[in-house]
Amino acid sequence: MMRKLKHSLEYFTNKSLNKKTSPAEEDVLDSFAKAEYEAAFWHEDKMGSSIIVRQTIYENILHKTEHKSSWKSYAIYAAAASIAVLLGIGFYNSTTTISEEQKLFTTSNSSQSIQLSDGSIIHLSAHSTLQYPENFTALERNVSLLKGNAFFEVAKDSVHPFIISSGKIKTKVIGTSFHIQLSKNRAIVMVRTGKVEVSTNKQSVQLTPNQEAVFSNDALSKKTMDAIFATNWYAEDVTVNQMKLSKVIELIEYKYGVTFQYIKGVNGEGPLTVFIAKDASLDSVLQQINYITNLKFSVYGETVKVE
């Protein structure tokens, strides 16, 4: 059915370009294009800006058409119809992903791991949510980190790239391991192994081991990170040696999915050494720091107050 529809659309479009359609056929073609334009669904996060894509198709139509004056009256509708038809026949892989049966994996007060159908393993911190298909059937393996922090161990598959949507960024890999930290104000990707591409609608950066990308204030930047942050702290023990308290707190925020709030006057720069077992509770880690620094910690859900 879709093949027949596509063939008919191509036939009438070419006929219209050659000025061989009857007025009735022109009305049918124009009505179809307009209807597809009004009914088409566009997923901004997965497909990018519909305005930009539509304008690109529109400009290509005008560039390739000798009869610009006759076509221009409804070229914008035809551009939208082209998108709709491409979506319908699966030209955009994202539509196939949307049609895949989606599941949600949400953690509560502790970290948990999940293995996907391709063998990839995702370790999520507490208070995190991952959306993923029960089975990967598209050309791309698409998942979404909707909330929180996660460490990805992606199974290698050169034919089917693995793409993670997290807020306003996308992370594309073949087979590698890396962290993604997602909050209301920013998103961070930190690479442990392999090569990773992080992109927004406007920017793109390539990352290699011990590099990170930070998306904040609608800008994407790249820098070298502390090696300790490349560790898979969900599955491995971590020993922090003589590190600034502020950096230790940052690691704890990532591992346990919490945010620290400091009472005025608290100094977060003193160095300390802490052992964080892979299955250690947040309370046990805070007790270690309390013993060393005499700081007091009060946990309220996803918030830790420091005084």
Q: Are residues 16 and 72 in the same domain?
A: yes
Q: Are residues 128 and 225 in the same domain?
A: yes
- In this predicted structure, which of 83-87, 152-156, 196-200, 221-225 has the lowest mean pLDDT? 83-87
CB contact at 8 A, 152 and 189: no
pLDDT-based confidence at residue 266 (cuts at 50, 70, 90)? low
Measured CA to CA, the distance from residue 166 to residue 239 in angstroms comes to 29
Residue 253 sits in a domain of what CATH number?
A: 3.55.50.30
pLDDT digits over 213-244, tens only?
999 999 999 999 988 899 999 999 999 899 88
Residue that terminates a domain, selected from 229, 250, 273: 229
The whole-number pLDDT of residue 204 equals 94
- DSSP count for the chain of H helices, then E strands: 9, 18
Q: What are phi and psi of 206, to 5 degrees?
A: -105, 135
CB contact at 8 A, 287 and 264: no
pLDDT digits over 49-58, tens only?
555 555 555 5
Q: How far is CA 210 from the centre of its chain?
A: 20
Residue that terminates a domain, selected from 49, 74, 91: 91
Number of structural domains the chain divides into: 3
Q: Are residues 223 and 280 in the same domain?
A: no
The whole-number pLDDT of residue 35 equals 64
pLDDT digits over 90-147, tens only?
443 333 334 578 999 999 989 999 999 999 999 999 999 999 999 999 999 999 999 9
Residue-averaged pLDDT of the chain = 80
When pLDDT is averaged across residues 182-192 and rounded to a whole number, the result is: 93
Percentage of the chain surpassing pLDDT 70?
Answer: 71
pLDDT-based confidence at residue 27 (cuts at 50, 70, 90)? confident
Q: Are residues 224 and 245 in the same domain?
A: no
Q: Are residues 147 and 83 in the same domain?
A: no
The whole-number pLDDT of residue 50 equals 53
- In this predicted structure, which of 23-27, 38-42, 184-188, 289-293 has the lowest mean pLDDT? 38-42
Q: Which residues share a beta bridge with 243?
A: 272
Stronger pLDDT, 11 or 41, i.e. the higher one = 11
Q: State which residues form the domain around 278.
A: 237-306
Residue that terminates a domain, selected from 63, 91, 119: 91
Q: Are residues 11 and 58 in the same domain?
A: yes
pLDDT-based confidence at residue 6 (cuts at 50, 70, 90)? low
Residue 135 sits in a domain of what CATH number?
A: 2.60.120.1440
Stronger pLDDT, 129 or 40, i.e. the higher one = 129
Which range of 45-49, 64-68, 259-263 scores highest in mean pLDDT? It is 259-263
